[in-house]
């Protein structure tokens, strides 16, 4: 059999992925004879392409799914994409702009036609890229959050929650994106550290000529929306202004000075401008003091007529102009730089405006209470558990959810307005008309008399139903898929959407299935560069995942991502990790090639019983450890367990123990065990490294049409009664080998120079039983027992035993004695200086404890080194 000298991922990855799909291994359907295992993909945006976060998240999902499949479970991994209202609409608007088309010149239907065309062309790119990674999704089940069935589910839930009083319409403070011209949710707001300016403005006091109240603000362009200035009633500086009024600079409108302990005396000037329309805290202050609200901004962030000044100017242009005008009027006291946090839109990058807006909201308190309970009692387990505290804080301080968006791409809100301004909520136009006739008492209302709400629902309002809707649980609550695959088992996602997506899915599951949607939530960390920065295309610090796969192979990238990705902790990405992953694939390939190059002599007796016995015990121990890591979702630890088992135990030790001499044959029993061990290792490695394991699996033996490692049975540990003793005895033998190799390294003797070993030990049985292994791994020509140190030998000690390696004829003994003598003299001189320092009472009394401890450690180390050197010299 001809085996390629090197493993080339590009030659095999596409082949095996196509074969797996042809065989239908990824497809899942309800099977009462098998336990179900289901995972729903966190649906990536249709605007997205594969990035490093996707790589990590989907690798972990694939590892879990592939292992479950091998465990004999009906493993169902549901893929899909999210319609991503804001991001997709922005993409389509930009594309139309390139063609000279303005969205405002299109009807809603015309714009949606362009959007669907864009989605069909680009929306599936990321799913195709996931196939390159090896993701074993059931692609026949691919869902899209805006497909008809899932849209129907969203609308049904909206109507149901409205009828239950959980959804309402009202004016509330929201995050407003002036570029996207829509409200956005908290999780779509990105906080950015920045250097901002604080403007100290002089408000003239009414009736007190020449008197001013200085107010500090970072947004001078909003003073036209001021309705009051607040001071703390306990602030002695402003006692004389209680009950007074001031005039807004430049505008001249009179506003009252109000008293409220909310104002911090020691922050800024201690005087706070109150602008309820443009600040959440100001809004709450305004409600408390029954103040009016003046909204001076248009949807696009420009100033409207209510501002009186700078009408039509962009908010930031107005800021520059008002600063100049205040300066000219003598009403700008000073400008200071200060460190601030800028709230920006994740999708457009625009600076967010807090804004009072008529929106649709969903009440969260009752649903949050139930969703908190199931995490607190571990009905749903968070991995790692440290996130329970974060979850609890969020859920105990939950606010109503703004679910409306001022966009066209998305599920349109099923609310219909009557001519008198009232509205009805209904699933269809026909149901809306019937409800409107009943509500208005006018049976002659025509369809044209109703106007459907222009807004669409927040994208999360579809994705919170994902674990139910992908199995058509709203269309048919008792269908075979939802009955078999729900609740799902594991969810893999990022901590930053623990509340915004995970918690809401829990709420929806409890509300509509009376069950939790999943049992475990594995929270990944963020992939960061070696400077700790989040990887992003904007920073230019993120490699292209597909380029990595092309260069290092999918298996190398998968293992590289998992080498240092403990749950919940950020991964500091280093290309050397991926190189290590590629090296691991090469190591495995070379181990396979080595075993296939052995000739078998059927007449040879079984010659490697101890080695075979030891690796069998080692394998069982590692399998138990591996299953424990999986049970606790320690994915990085799970990989490292298999990695060490393959690289260290199998390749570095076992194969060295059993491989025959150059061009010599091997006995059939050893080869049979070795091949069986390699097959088991391929099974354990397959979830992590699917492509190379499938390639070697089929090269290793003739396989039947359905005999793939992809669906091979997951190995179950078979504990050996004497495993502890087997492992302990081999460990002692390998310590002897390590001692021999240390001597070789110290004396520069090379790994293959024949040496002899004499042992003064009570472990004679161990030396006898492991004689062949110690000789082979230590490159020894003879192993013997002795009562005294042989002449010209160096020694090392293990436990109560002392081991000697005669060096006469291998090194210049006179030169070695001279070298050791010089080392002893130097070490004694160093020891003397340390003792002198420790003998100085003044030093001992004044030195810090850690400094004193270091000196004492130096003394102990020097004494130990001298003793060892003197023993080596005596042996020579």
Task: List binding-site positions.
Answer: 537
- Token pair for 803: 């081991």
CB atoms within 10 A of CB 324: 10
SS3 content of the chain, % helix, strand, coil (to 5): 50, 20, 35
Helix (H, G, I), strand (E, B) or coil at 143: strand
3-state secondary structure of 205: strand
Q: Give dist(CA 461, CA 742) in Å, integer.
A: 64
Question: d(Cα 353, Cα 279) in Å, to the nearest integer?
Answer: 8
Of the candidates 277, 275, 453, which has an alpha carbon nearest to the alpha carbon of residue 357? 277
CA–CA dist 503, 500 (Å, integer): 6
Q: How far apart (Å, rounded) are the C-alpha atoms in residues 204 and 211?
A: 6
Distance of CA 872 to the CA centre of its chain: 53
**Pair of tokens at residue 209:** 């000529």
CB-CB contact of 542 with 513 (8 Å): no
Whole-number Cα distances in Å, 434 to 155, 414, 440: 18, 14, 10
DSSP state of 659: P
- Give the pairing of strands 254-259 and 245-247: antiparallel
In the block, residue with structure tokens 């359905």: 706
Place of tokens 């010659």: 607
Say whether 189 sits in a helix, a strand or coil.
strand
The C-alpha angle with vertex 529 and arms to 526 and 533, in degrees rounded to 5, equals 70
Which residues lie closer than 8 Å to 522 by C-beta, 6 or more apart?
60, 383, 490, 491, 492, 493, 567, 633, 635
| Torsional class of 729: left (φ above 0), alpha (ψ -120 to 50), beta (otherwise) | alpha
Q: Helix, strand or coil for residue 840?
A: coil
For residue 125, give Cα distances in angstroms to 80, 99, 128, 697: 11, 23, 5, 31
From the list 246, 249, 250, the residue with the least C-alpha distance to 238 is 246
**The two three-digit tokens of residue 354, written as one number:** 């807090």
Which residues belong to the annotated binding site for ATP? 537
Q: Are 360 and 403 in contact (CB under 8 A)?
A: yes
H or E, element range at 338: strand 332-345
How far, in Å, CA of 780 to CA of 817, rounded?
Answer: 24
Inter-residue contact 56 to 569 (CB < 8 Å) = no
Q: Spell out the alpha helix ranges (H) of 291-364.
A: 315-328
The vertex-603 CA angle with 599 and 604, nearest 5°, equals 70
Output the CA torsion sign for 319, 325, 327, 329: negative
Q: Hey, CA dihedral for 56, 59, 63, 65, is it positive or negative?
A: positive
Q: What is the C-alpha separation between 320 and 221, in angstroms, rounded?
A: 9
- 871/781 Cα distance (integer angstroms): 25
Spatial separation of the C-alpha atoms in residues 630 and 14, rounded to whole Å: 28
Q: Strand 415-417 relative to strand 423-425: parallel, antiparallel, unpaired?
A: antiparallel
Around Cβ 510, how many Cβ atoms within 10 Å?
Answer: 17
- How many C-beta atoms surround the C-beta of residue 194 within 10 A? 12
Instruction: Count CA atoms within 13 Å of residue 38 on its CB side.
Output: 25
């Amino acid at each position: 059999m001809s085996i390629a000298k090197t493993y080339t991922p590009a030659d095999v990855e596409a082949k095996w992925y196509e074969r797996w799909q042809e065989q239908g291994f990824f497809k899942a359907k309800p099977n009462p004879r098998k336990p179900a295992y289901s995972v729903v993909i966190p649906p990536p945006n249709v605007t997205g392409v594969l990035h490093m976060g996707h790589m990590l998240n989907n690798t972990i999902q694939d590892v879990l799914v592939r292992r479950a499949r091998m465990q004999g479970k009906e493993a169902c991994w549901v893929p899909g994409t999210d319609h991503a209202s804001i991001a997709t609409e922005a993409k389509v608007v930009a594309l139309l702009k390139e063609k000279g088309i303005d969205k405002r010149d299109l009807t809603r239907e015309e714009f949606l036609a362009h959007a669907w065309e864009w989605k069909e062309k680009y929306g599936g790119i990321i799913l195709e890229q996931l196939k390159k990674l090896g993701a074993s999704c059931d692609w026949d089940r691919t869902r899209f959050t805006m497909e008809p069935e899932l849209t129907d589910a969203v609308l049904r839930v909206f109507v149901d929650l409205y009828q239950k009083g959980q959804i309402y319409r009202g004016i509330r403070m929201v995050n407003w994106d002036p570029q996207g011209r829509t409200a956005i949710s908290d999780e779509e707001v990105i906080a950015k550290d920045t250097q901002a300016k604080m403007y100290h403005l002089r408000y003239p006091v009414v009736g007190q000529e020449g008197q001013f109240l200085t107010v500090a603000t970072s947004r001078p362009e909003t003073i036209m929306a001021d309705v009051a200035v607040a001071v703390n009633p306990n602030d002695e500086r402003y006692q004389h202004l209680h009950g007074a009024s001031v005039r807004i600079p430049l505008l001249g409108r009179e506003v009252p000075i109000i008293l409220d302990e909310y104002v911090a005396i020691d922050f800024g000037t201690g005087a706070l401008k109150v602008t309820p329309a443009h600040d959440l805290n100001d809004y709450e202050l305004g409600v408390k003091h029954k103040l009016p609200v003046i909204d001076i901004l248009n949807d696009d962030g420009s100033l409207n007529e209510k501002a009186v000044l700078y009408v039509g100017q962009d908010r930031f242009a107005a800021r520059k102009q008002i600063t100049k005008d205040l300066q000219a009027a003598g009403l700008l006291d000073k400008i200071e730089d200060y460190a601030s946090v800028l709230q920006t839109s994740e999708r457009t990058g625009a600076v967010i405006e807090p804004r009072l807006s008529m929106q649709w909201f969903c009440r969260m308190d009752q649903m949050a209470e139930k969703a908190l309970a199931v995490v607190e009692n571990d009905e749903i387990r968070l991995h790692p558990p440290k996130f329970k505290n974060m979850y609890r804080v969020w859920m105990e301080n939950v606010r109503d959810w703004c679910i409306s968006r001022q966009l066209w791409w998305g599920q349109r809100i099923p609310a219909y307005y009557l001519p008198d301004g009232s509205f009805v909520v209904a699933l269809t136009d026909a149901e809306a008309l019937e409800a409107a006739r009943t509500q208005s008492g006018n049976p002659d209302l025509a369809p044209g008399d109703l106007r459907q709400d222009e807004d669409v629902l927040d994208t999360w309002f579809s994705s919170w139903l994902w674990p139910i809707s992908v199995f058509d649980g709203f269309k048919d609550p008792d269908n075979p898929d939802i009955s078999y695959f729900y609740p799902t088992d594991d969810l893999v996602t990022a901590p930053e959407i623990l509340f915004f997506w995970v918690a809401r899915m829990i709420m929806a599951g409890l509300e509509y299935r009376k069950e939790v949607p999943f049992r475990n939530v594995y929270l990944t960390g963020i992939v960061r560069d070696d400077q700790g920065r989040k990887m992003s295309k904007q920073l230019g610090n993120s490699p292209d995942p597909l380029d990595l796969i092309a260069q290092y192979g999918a298996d190398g990238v998968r293992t590289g991502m998992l080498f240092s990705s403990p749950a919940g902790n950020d991964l500091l990405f280093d290309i050397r990790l991926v190189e290590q992953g590629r090296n691991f694939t090469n190591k495995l390939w070379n181990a396979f090639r080595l075993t296939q190059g052995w000739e078998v002599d059927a007449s040879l007796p079984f010659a490697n019983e101890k080695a075979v016995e030891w690796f069998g015990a080692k394998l069982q121990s590692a399998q138990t450890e591996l299953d424990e890591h999986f049970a606790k979702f320690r994915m990085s630890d799970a990989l490292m367990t298999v990695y060490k088992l393959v690289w260290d135990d199998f390749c570095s030790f076992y194969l060295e123990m059993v491989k025959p001499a150059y061009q010599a044959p091997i006995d059939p029993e050893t080869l049979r065990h070795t091949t069986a061990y390699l097959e088991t290792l391929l099974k354990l490695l397959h979830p992590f490294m699917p492509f190379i394991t499938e390639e070697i699996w089929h090269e290793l033996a003739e396989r039947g049409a359905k005999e793939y490692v992809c669906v091979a049975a997951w190995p179950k540990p078979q504990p050996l009664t004497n495993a502890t003793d087997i492992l302990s005895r081999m460990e002692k033998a390998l310590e002897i080998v390590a001692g021999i190799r240390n001597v070789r390294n110290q004396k520069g003797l090379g790994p293959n120079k024949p040496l002899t070993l004499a042992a003064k030990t009570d472990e004679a049985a161990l030396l006898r039983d492991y004689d062949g292994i110690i000789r082979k791994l230590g490159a020894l020509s003879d192993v013997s027992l002795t009562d005294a140190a042989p002449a010209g030998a160096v020694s090392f000690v293990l436990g109560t035993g002392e081991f000697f390696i005669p060096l006469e004829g291998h090194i210049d003994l006179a030169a070695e004695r001279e070298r050791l003598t010089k080392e002893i003299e130097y070490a004694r001189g160093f020891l003397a200086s340390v003792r002198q320092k420790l003998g100085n009472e003044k030093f001992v009394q004044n030195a810090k404890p850690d400094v004193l401890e270091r000196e004492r450690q130096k003394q102990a180390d020097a004494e130990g080194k001298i003793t060892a050197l003197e023993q080596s010299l005596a042996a020579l």
